[in-house]
Amino acid sequence: MSQYNLKNEVDLNNQNLDGISPRLATALEKLHTAIDELKKNREVSNSITTDTAEMKEEIEKLNNENIGLLHKVEELKQKNSKLTGANQEVEKRISNMIEMYRNFMK
């Protein structure tokens, strides 16, 4: 039996049983309230599930981006190391040229 049919049946039974059995009518009313709460909880659960899936995708995207940035940082460190070596070589050659020039001028 679908929830819609159950709800309608509960409503009809409540109307028919009010005079006959107040306890049964109260129980059916509580059942109806519980069904409504379950529907609300299901909607919230579906919303949370959707949000969780979206967050998971976003986290994966950010992790991939982070990995790419780490690779770029490593490449830049390697380039920096090469440039440092090249600068030392240039500095050494300039110093040698200055020394040669001073010796030539003497």
* Predicted confidence (pLDDT) per residue in 5-47, tens digit: 555 555 555 455 556 688 888 888 999 999 999 999 999 999 9
Average pLDDT over residues 50-74: 95
Q: Which residues contact 31 (CB under 8 A, 6 or more apart)?
A: 10
Q: Give the number of domains in the chain.
A: 1
Give the model's pLDDT for residue 105.
86
Average pLDDT over residues 68-85: 94
Helix or strand run (H / E) with residue 64: helix 22-105
Does the predicted TM-score (pTM) go above 0.75? Answer: no
Q: How far is 20 from 89, CA to CA, in rounded Å?
A: 104
Average pLDDT over residues 76-85: 92
Give the model's pLDDT for residue 9.
56
Give the model's pLDDT for residue 55.
94
Residue-range definition of the domain harbouring residue 64: 3-105
Residue 14: closest CA among 29, 33, 36: 29
Residue 4, helix vs strand vs coil: helix
